[in-house]
Structure 1
Amino acid sequence: MLKTYKSFFKQNIIPVNLDQYVPKVELKEYLKLNDRIYEVDSKAENGMTFSRVLNYKYSDTLKKMDPDHLVALVTEVIPNYSCLVFCPTKKNCENVAEMICKFLSKEYLKHREKEKDEVIKNLKSISSGTLCPVLKHTIPFGVAYHHSGLTSEERRLLEEAYSSGVLCLFTCTSTLAAGVNLPARRVILRAPYVAKEFLKRNQYKQMIGRAGRAGIDTIGESILILQEKDKQQVSELISRPPENCYSHLVQEFTKGIQSLFLSLIGLKIATNLGDIHHFMNGTFFGVQQKILLKEKSLWEVTVESLRHLTEKGLLQKDTINNSEEECRCDFHITKLGRASFKGTIDLAYCDILYRDLKKGLEGLVLESFLHLIYLTTPYDLVPQCDPDWMVYFRQFSQLSPAEQSVASRLGVSESFIGKKASGQAIRKKVDKNIVNRLYLSFVLYTLLKETNVWSVSEKFNMPRGYIQNLLTGAASFSSCVLHFCEELEEFWVYRALLVELIKKLTYCVKAELIPLMEVTGVQEGRAKQLFNAGYKSLTHLANADPEVLVRTIDHLSRRQAKQIVSSAKMLLQEKAEALQEEVEELLRLPPDFPGTMAASIEKA
């Protein structure tokens, strides 16, 4: 039967040439030096040929504010076509967006004015009436910045507005070039740098690849702005081939080879040295081993990695007497290894996590969530943290005695933070990682109490996008820690506590809104609307009339109302079935089992 199907498909499937349906978009690459623009030409002696002089009347003020002639370059395409301006830093994105809008004529304000007003209204609605001052000024001109400092909701709204043509210009960082499908007629690279690092060929190609929109434009343009000092490096950049692609298994040692080996043994795909080495030979890293491994062989790397995992207590090896049989000796995953494997914990931190959780049991402070939040603050975000010491001290002084005892147990005192804030010399050594992790815990703790990213962003002087990413990371890591604890009996106490914390970190709203936000399609804003309209529980929502919901809740379509009610009913049914199973499980217990009703009566 299978052969018949294969034969049928071979005979009847006609190969399709997609090029005839999606016309190719020509990409023209340009370089701008002073007021002259050159076209990239591989046939030319220096890789470029003169194209034109930028013709734009600049006042003395504009020359000082815009020495790179960005206003001239963007106004050649906007508002009728879209444009992306890549900037080296996030702050530069915002400054460039504001600067461009200062010199745009008032005619730009009239282009799709009502739709731009709607974008501003929507941005305010998702942030409790708050709007970034920069976006408030630039969006009426069809301009916005795009970088990681934005919240995910802001990025979504701005991307939708850009894709539909309501916004015609994004000033953005290089992160937009990868993973976000936002093409443009013209792409401008503000400088051949990402932060302080000179562009790589692959980065350059990724950025200019945004130029040209298949099915919309017939041409795309990229313009790289350079200074005289960068001319030689840019000449090499545009002419050199793309960088080679290499396996990262060695560079990310704990996340790479060691995690791979733990997974192989945990899943019983390969459990002995010989099979693991054979598996490694078939990987991309194995193919490139002669290039990547100059001092060691793949066999030596495999043996060393397994020995390291064994020494860490994650793996255990069978004892054998004959050394010739070593390659056939099985490895078994230990309890700690299984906990790390099930919790997908970075192996660089698994022993630190175990130690922190163990120490936490000695005096877990449960008067607030602060201690638990500290234990579930992601380790990988700690090195990037640079505390504002005045803010740190202010937040520390507002803690209750119980909350201050958490810091005390961790070895961080108020006097230490006070000295750091006042710039005094400190003789006593304190673990920097613990201090920084506690600071991030303060951010999360404040966010859970206030549930407003904007106010917390202002309070800690941090980008709102960073705070949202911290929250997302903490919610994800707390779930990993829960799975880690489920595999280790000694951490039973954390299980029930973490379930509640995960909900709080995932939804980050007031407790009464959490049941409503479990429903598909209900975010914080919608949950508040439903709660204020009297739908205060899952049962109320499951019994709601979709037609009444449409009339009661602003901006709710009939389709959305039906989806919400249907999802609430399904969720309620799932919870009822789970409770029913629990009851049936209890009824199946023997009468003399401790805790059952029969056992209690007999004891009485």
Structure 2
Amino acid sequence: MKEFLSSTLLYVQQQQLCVEKSLWEVVKQSVELLQEKDLITVTSDGQILQVTKLGKATYKGSVDLTYSDVLYKDLSRGLEALLLNSYLHLLYLVTPYDLIPQCKPDWMVYFRQFALLSAAEQKMSAVVGVAESFVARKAAGQTVKKDVDMAVVRRMYLSLVLFSLLKETNLWSVAERFQLSRGFVQTLLSSSSAFCSCVIHFTEELEEFWPFKALLMELMQRLSYCVKAELIPLMEVAGVMESRAKQLYNAGYKTLTHLANADPAVLSKTIEKLHKKQANQIVASAKMLLNEKAAALQEEVDDLLMIPVDLPLQLI
């Protein structure tokens, strides 16, 4: 590493600028930091650096080094008591850490939204560190002496914003309810979708987090579209956005198959402000998507049929 760095432009500039710390000192500090976060290991002679599983996960997920160990701890705690009767717990886990400092909760709004949660959701909130009693006291303007991690409190507030967006999909009304700017809410939504993808790649490298991949894949889709789950298949069709998907769903075209088998002439008459040319394009796109899915399923069937039938069951 030292030999390589001595051949770089930065090394030459460092000598000319007469900086306080040498480039090699900066490198050693960086190595120590990576060791502290358990991202790399160093042999006793200091000659060989090896990337740990957590290091690989951090790299694959493009997770900020500042938060990699925090994310690992949050996911580990999540496995112990993961709430699956709603999206709230998963949303909390994919709420970006870098937006937390920008969040200043309105305590009365916080308390009202907290009161709307189910008993299981309130229990999950208490497990991560946000109890109803704390929020109630803050809403009442009381001083709370108990040590509470305010970063967790703010993160839960942002999770409640995302939770409301998934249920309503109306960004304007959600922003107004939580006393946040529409720009911030839009940033939160897009950042959470991107961070969700990062967390998926992060968990793929760590065997103990295997349940998260399947759980977060659908959540990422919902955050990307910010629509109800039943509309997602329709949103895959070219030219179909959220409002159009709602029209199609309400008109009885609830699945990709329904849309692929639709008569474009009937479709254009049924859906308001849908021209026949657009209807033809939508039906054609739905048919193409359906054929692609059918082909993928056929490949899976063919692969299964290639397994030798005379192999012992345990080997299969």
What TM-score, normalized to structure 2? Answer: 0.90
1:312 maps to 2:37: yes
Higher strand share: 1
**2:216 maps to what in 1?**
498
SS state at 1:295 partner? coil
Match 1:297 to one of 2, 13, 22 = 22
Deviation at 1:305, TM superposition (A): 1.4
Equivalent residue number for residue 283 of structure 2: 565
Q: Gaps (5+ residues) in structure 2?
A: none
Q: Secondary structure at the match of 2:41?
A: strand
1:437-476 alignment runs, 5 A limit: 437-476=155-194
- 1:531 maps to 2:256: no
Change (3 A) 1:546 1:411: same
Using the alignment, how far apart are the partners of 1:526 and 1:310 within structure 2?
A: 52
CA distances 1:251-304 after superposition (whole Å, capped 9, x unpaired)? xxxxxxxxxxxxxxxxxxxxx5543x257x24xx66754688721122222232
User: CA-atom RMSD, angstroms?
Assistant: 2.5
In 2 relative to 1, CA 582–293 (structure 1 residues): closer, same or farther, beyond 3 Å? farther
Q: State the one-letter code of the partner of 1:358.
A: S
State the alpha-carbon separation in 2 of the partners of residues 526 and 595 from structure 1.
Answer: 49
Which one is further off, 424-433 or 497-506? 497-506
2:145 counterpart SS class: coil
Bigger proportion of residues as helix: 2
> Residue type matched to 2:245 in 1?
A
1:548 is displaced (CA, Å) by 4.2
Matched residue count = 314
Matched-pair contact (CA < 8 Å) for 1:446–1:456: yes
**Alignment partner, residue 200 of structure 1:** none
Q: Structure 1, residues 377-398: CA drift from partner, whole Å, max 9, x if none?
A: 1111101000000001111122
Of stretches 557-566 and 510-519 in structure 1, the one that deviates more from structure 2 is 557-566
| Rg larger for | 1
Measure, in 2, the Cα distance between the counterparts of 1:571 and 1:475.
Answer: 24
Could you state the TM-score of these two structures normalised by the residue count of structure 1?
A: 0.49
- Find out whether 1:428 has 2:146 as its counterpart: yes
Partner of 2:312: 592
Q: Which has the higher contact order (CA 8 A, sep 6+)?
A: 2
| Match 2:111 to one of 387, 390, 393 | 393
1:492 to partner: Cα distance = 0.7
Amino acid at match of 2:91: I
Paired amino acid for 2:312? D
**Displacement after TM superposition at 1:544 (Å):** 3.3
The CA deviation at 1:351 is: 0.4
Cα distance in 2, alignment partners of residues 518 and 438 from structure 1: 31
Offset at residue 495 of structure 1 (A): 1.4
Counterpart position of 2:136? 418
Question: Partners of 1:584 and 1:307 in 2: how far apart?
Answer: 51
CA contact (8 A) 1:317 1:331 kept: yes
Q: Distance in 2 between matches of 1:595 and 1:403?
A: 43
Q: Give the gaps of 5 or more residues in structure 1.
A: 1-271, 321-325, 597-604
Secondary structure of the structure 1 residue equivalent to 2:202:
helix
Task: Evaluate the alpha carbon distance shift between residue 315 and residue 274 of structure 1 in structure 2; reply closer, same or farther with a 3 A threshold.
Answer: farther
1:538–1:291 CA distance, 2 compared to 1 (3 A): farther
Are the structure 2 counterparts of residues 416 and 287 from structure 1 closer, same or farther at C-alpha, using a change threshold of 3 Å? farther
Q: Deviations over 1:180-216 (max 9, x none)?
A: xxxxxxxxxxxxxxxxxxxxxxxxxxxxxxxxxxxxx
Determine the C-alpha separation between the residues in 1 that align with 2:43 and 2:174.
53
Q: Return 330-339 or 438-447, whichever deviates more.
A: 330-339
Say if 1:314 and 1:336, in contact at 8 Å, map to a contact too: yes
Pair 1:346-2:59 in alignment: no
